[in-house]
Structure 1
Amino acid sequence: MMRLYKTDALVLRVRDFSEADRIVTLYTYSRGKVQAIAKGSRKTKSRKRGAVQPFTYGNFLLYQGRSLDTITQCEPKESFSHLREDLVKLAYSTYLTELVDGFTAEGEPNEQVFLLLLTTFYLLLKDNPGLLVRAFELKLLNILGYCPQLESCVHCHGPVAGNAAKVRFSSRLGGVLCDECSGHDPFATTIQMGSLKTMQQLLKWDIRRLQVLKVPEERQQEIAAILRHYIDERIERKLKSTVFLDTVLQ
Structure 2
Amino acid sequence: MLYKVEGIVIRSMDYGEGNKIITIYSKTHGKIGIMAKGAKKLKSRHAGVSQLFTYGEFMFYKTSGLGSLNQGEILTAHHKIRGDLHLAAYAAYLVEMVDRMVEDTEASEFLFEQLKAALDAFEEGKDPQIIVRMFEMKMLHFSGVAPVLDACVHCGRDEPPFSLSPGMGGLLCRLCRLRDPRGISVTEGTVKLLNVFQQVDLRRLGNITVKHETRLQLKQCMRAYMDIHVSIPFRSLHFLDQMDKYDI
1:46 to 44, 54, 60: 44
Q: Distance in 1 between matches of 2:3 and 2:170?
A: 41
Structure 1 position 209, deviation (Å): 4.6
Q: Distance in 2 between matches of 1:247 and 1:187?
A: 25
Corresponding residue SS for 1:118: helix
Q: 1:91 is matched with which residue?
A: 89
- Aligned ranges 1:125-204 → 2 under 5 Å: 125=123, 126-156=125-155, 158-161=156-159, 164=160, 166-204=161-199
Structure 1 position 134, deviation (Å): 1.4
Q: Distance in 2 between matches of 1:9 and 1:131?
A: 24
Q: Distance in 1 between matches of 2:243 and 2:171?
A: 31
Aligned residue type for 1:57: Y
Which region of structure 1 is more displaced relative to structure 2, 205-214 or 120-129? 205-214
Q: How many residues align?
A: 244
Which region of structure 1 is more displaced relative to structure 2, 231-240 or 97-106? 231-240
| TM-score normalised over the length of structure 2 | 0.91
Identity percentage over the alignment?
34
| C-alpha contact (below 8 Å) 2:157/2:173 kept by paired residues | yes
Q: 2:7 is matched with which residue?
A: 9
Q: Distance in 2 between matches of 1:21 and 1:212?
A: 40
| C-alpha contact (below 8 Å) 2:8/2:53 kept by paired residues | yes
Structure 1 position 205, deviation (Å): 2.7
2:18 to 11, 17, 20: 20
Structure 1 position 180, deviation (Å): 3.8
Corresponding residue SS for 1:107: coil
CA offsets per residue over residues 175-229 of structure 1, 9 Å max, x none? 1122343344332222223211111122223434543433212101210121112
| TM-score normalised over the length of structure 1 | 0.90
Q: Distance in 2 between matches of 1:216 and 1:105?
A: 36
- Aligned ranges 1:23-34 → 2 under 5 Å: 23-34=21-32
Q: Distance in 2 between matches of 1:149 and 1:47?
A: 48
CA offsets per residue over residues 93-112 of structure 1, 9 Å max, x none? 11111111122110111011
2:221 to 204, 218, 226: 226
CA offsets per residue over residues 57-84 of structure 1, 9 Å max, x none? 0000122232222222111111101101
Q: 1:66 is matched with which residue?
A: 64
| C-alpha contact (below 8 Å) 2:114/2:201 kept by paired residues | no
Structure 1 position 243, deviation (Å): 1.0
Q: 2:108 is matched with which residue?
A: 110
Q: Distance in 2 between matches of 1:233 and 1:49?
A: 39
CA RMSD of aligned residues (A): 1.7
Q: Distance in 2 between matches of 1:14 and 1:225?
A: 30
Q: Distance in 2 between matches of 1:248 and 1:208?
A: 27
Cα 1:71/1:223, change in 2 over 3 Å: same
| C-alpha contact (below 8 Å) 1:128/1:211 kept by paired residues | no
Which region of structure 1 is more displaced relative to structure 2, 202-211 or 3-12? 202-211
Q: Distance in 1 between matches of 2:204 and 2:57?
A: 28
CA offsets per residue over residues 149-193 of structure 1, 9 Å max, x none? 11122233x1231xx3x4221112221122343344332222223
Corresponding residue SS for 2:191: helix
1:240 aligns with 2:240: no
Corresponding residue SS for 1:226: helix
| C-alpha contact (below 8 Å) 2:8/2:55 kept by paired residues | yes
Q: Which runs of 5+ in 1 are unaligned?
A: none
Q: Distance in 1 between matches of 2:42 and 2:205?
A: 40
